[in-house]
Structures are given as structure tokens and as C-alpha cells.
Amino acid sequence: MHFLITGGAGFLGSHLTDALVARGDEVTVLDDLSTGRARNLSPAAGLAFVEGSVLDRDLVERLTARADCAVHLAAKVGVRLILDSPRETIETNVEGTRHVLDACARHGKRVLLASSSEVYGLSEELPFREDAPVLRGATSEPRWCYASSKELGERLALAYARESGLDVRIARFFNVVGPRQRGRYGMVLPNFVRQALSGEPITVFGDGTQTRSFLHVADWVRAVSSLLEVPAARGEVVNVGSPREVAIERVGRLVRERLASSSPIVHMPYREVYGIRTPDLVRRVPDTAKLEALTGFRAELSLEEAIDDLARERGAVPSR
Ligand SMILES: NC(=O)c1ccc[n+]([C@@H]2O[C@H](COP(=O)([O-])OP(=O)(O)OC[C@H]3O[C@@H](n4cnc5c(N)ncnc54)[C@H](O)[C@@H]3O)[C@@H](O)[C@H]2O)c1
């Protein structure tokens, strides 16, 4: 198979690219290197890298025509980036997605669309099920630009499926973690690991009672590869994440313990971190029954293993 992976030089895309190339598939990566890095991709037979944007409609069209299947990961991601560039976030995540969906519909190609747990917004019906209503904050709060853009991408994809018969699979990713993830745009685990290894304070935003769930990127690759293949996933919205819920304060302590760090844990109010009042979501954990029923997938790696792998990437040896 020949895959087009948009955003393939990013954290998730580069891991998927590695796995597909290793099993003998052909991969074309389209990435503008805005948050991704060319060095995430090791040169390999069967891998082609195209530096360009999903906003370039003709380019997306040409690359889609040559592939058998697309995985659309390119997006503006990360709280910091979204608060700084809400217009670019909406443009990339909606317009770029429209280009990919449109090209796939016209050329009859299967596509997997990256969505996010952020789509659930302020919903409090936990664990989140794919058919639960979604709830946004005020339009004056720029943080919701990302969730709204991902929601619109999903709606557009389902509209293409209904009106043009597009074979689309929508995956709502919950926090995925592991090597190559960068802390620059507000991702919690790489920041904690970097802080713990350098002896800097581990900065927990808010009071630390907010919870998240973390899926190791190697598990994520298995889940996404299955969703791309199983016929029953066609036209479905599916959570991809770990059902293990952990408070952020606990994550900070875990990182400190595993890396034998003496970093203190400090709390920072959101207003201080982001310069504006922005709400955080209190709990976020997926119902993974649908993913399991469709693919048989179960997470095999733990948060602890992700912490160790992030530390090893920085040349450190985890303490246990
Ligand atoms: N990592 C997670 O935990 C997580 C959770 C939920 C959803 N997601 C989604 O998964 C996808 C991949 O996220 P990631 O964590 O790998 O982030 P990432 O920033 O590492 O990857 C995004 C990639 O898209 C590229 N990109 C951005 N704008 C582009 C454009 N206009 N044209 C071409 N390429 C462009 C970036 O350079 C980068 O390589 C995104 O769609 C994101 O919304 C990720």
C-alpha cells in the first residue's frame, strides 16, 4: 500500500511512518515543518518527503491521486500555539482538512482523520463515549478554536461520507506520549521529564487535580494501523486512548520518582502560564469499548514506560 501521511514529520506521524515503512509499505509525507522536524524521519526505501502545506490544494490533490490511502494528521496543535495563533489554527485545521477530504472523495481513497479528545469540550459525562453531546466554552475564549476546528473537521468528514461515499475513519486521540514529543507548545509529559532531568521545578498548571489519560505512542501506532484496516471502522468516530485516568499532580510525582529527581513540584495558575484566563478541563478519560470491539486493541504499555522512554531519548537512564 502507498500511504499519504500529512503531518508525517511530527510526533505521531513520524512513528506511524516508521512502522509502515518497516512493514514494507510506501509512504509519502507531506509536512510544512512548522512543528514537525525533518530529522524525525530516517531516510528509507519507500519513504518520500514533500515539504509543503495542506493549504496548497493542488499539491494535496496530486499527492492523494498517487496514494492508496491517506492519514491526515497535519494540524496546529498545542495550547500555547492555539492561544497565540487562533486564526491560523482554524484555517489549517478546517481548510487543510477540507482539501484532504475533498481529494480523497474525488479519487476514491480511504482516509483516517485525526481528531481529538478536546472535541468533548466541557462535557462531564465520563468516561467519554463517542456518541456523547459535545459542549464548548464562549467564543471569546480562543482555547476553543482547536476543539471547534476538530469538531468541524469531523462533521465535514461525515458529510463527505454521506454525500460522496468517502471511506473515512475518524479517530479521537486522547493524550499520546513518547519519544519525539516536544514540550514547546504545552505538552505536559515532555516538559515534566525535561524539568525533572535538569533539576528545575516541575511545573503543574492549576491545582494538579485535573486528570488525563496517557497512551504510549507504540500502542497508538497499533491502534491506528488497525483502524485503517478493519472494514467495520468505515464511517465511524472512535476514541483512541488509555482508560487509565491519572491526576496531573500524580504524573509530576511519578516522573520525579522514576527519574530519581530532586526537582520540587510547583503549581502555576493558568493566568500566569498563558497570560490570559483560560479554562482547563477537569477530567478527561475515554470509553475505549468501541475501539476494542472494532479492532481488539488494548493498550499494552504504561505511562511509566513512556516516562522512561522520554528520559532515554534525553540520554538519561531511568532509576528503575
Ligand atoms: N499527540 C497527541 O496527544 C494528540 C492528541 C489529540 C489529537 N492529536 C492530533 O494528532 C495529530 C498529530 O499531532 P502530533 O501530536 O503529532 O503533533 P505535531 O505538531 O508533532 O504534528 C503535527 C504535524 O503537522 C505539521 N503541520 C502543521 N501545519 C501544517 C500544514 N499547514 N501543512 C502540512 N503540515 C502541517 C507540523 O509540522 C507537524 O509535523 C494532530 O492532528 C493533532 O491534532 C494529537
Per-residue pLDDT of 187-218, as tens digits, reads: 899 999 999 999 999 999 989 999 999 999 99
Q: Encode pLDDT of 39-53 as tens digits.
A: 999 999 999 999 999
pLDDT score recorded for residue 58: 98
Pocket test of ligand 1: the residue of 50, 73, 220 to mutate, having most ligand atoms within 8 Å of its CB, is 73
Residues 50, 8: Cα–Cα separation, whole Å = 10
Distance (Å) from CA 50 to ligand 1 centroid: 16
Distance (Å) from CA 13 to ligand 1 centroid: 8
CATH 3.40.50.1370 given to domain 178-212+244-284+300-313:
no
Residues constituting the chain: 320
Distance (Å) from CA 186 to ligand 1 centroid: 13
Cα dihedral 92, 94, 95, 97, rounded to 10, equals 90
Residue in this structure with the C-alpha cell 471511506, named with its chain if needed:
167
Q: What topology is assigned to 2-176+215-240 in CATH?
A: Rossmann fold (3.40.50)
pLDDT score recorded for residue 317: 77
pLDDT score recorded for residue 91: 98
Q: Is the pLDDT assigned to residue 318 strictly greater than 90? A: no
Provide mean pLDDT across the span 224-243: 98
Domain range list for the chain? 2-176+215-240, 178-212+244-284+300-313
Cα dihedral 239, 240, 243, 246, rounded to 10, equals -110
Provide mean pLDDT across the span 237-241: 98
Give the percent of the chain with pLDDT over 70: 98
pLDDT score recorded for residue 273: 75
Pocket test of ligand 1: the residue of 57, 77, 80 to mutate, having most ligand atoms within 8 Å of its CB, is 77
The binding-site residues of ligand 1, defined as CB within 6 angstroms of any ligand atom, are 6-7, 9-13, 30-36, 53-55, 73-77, 92, 96, 114, 116, 173, 175-176
pLDDT score recorded for residue 278: 63
Q: Enter the DSSP assignment of 286.
A: B
Provide mean pLDDT across the span 219-245: 98
Residue in this structure with the C-alpha cell 502507498, named with its chain if needed:
2
Measured in degrees and rounded to the nearest 5, phi and psi for residue 141 equal -100, 105
Residues 6 or more apart in contact with residue 198 via CB below 8 angstroms? 263
pLDDT score recorded for residue 187: 87
Give the percent of the chain with pLDDT over 90: 90
pLDDT score recorded for residue 20: 98
Specify the amino acid at residue 2. H
Sorting pLDDT into bands at 50, 70 and 90, what band is 14?
Answer: very high
pLDDT score recorded for residue 279: 64
* Among 77, 134, 124, CA closest to 284: 124
Q: Enter the DSSP assignment of 46.
A: T
Residues 102, 96: Cα–Cα separation, whole Å = 10
Q: Is the pLDDT assigned to residue 319 strictly greater than 90? A: no
Beta strands in 130-199 (DSSP E): 168-173, 176-177
Residues 8, 125: Cα–Cα separation, whole Å = 33
Q: Encode pLDDT of 273-307 as tens digits.
A: 777 666 677 899 999 999 999 999 999 999 999 99
pLDDT score recorded for residue 22: 97
The answer to whether residue 120 is catalytic is: no
pLDDT score recorded for residue 276: 67
pLDDT score recorded for residue 243: 96
Q: Using CB atoms within 10 A of its CB, is residue 293 exposed (0-12), middle (13-18) or buried (19+)?
A: exposed
Provide mean pLDDT across the span 70-80: 94
Specify the amino acid at residue 167. D
Q: Encode pLDDT of 146-183 as tens digits.
A: 999 999 999 999 999 999 999 999 999 999 999 999 88
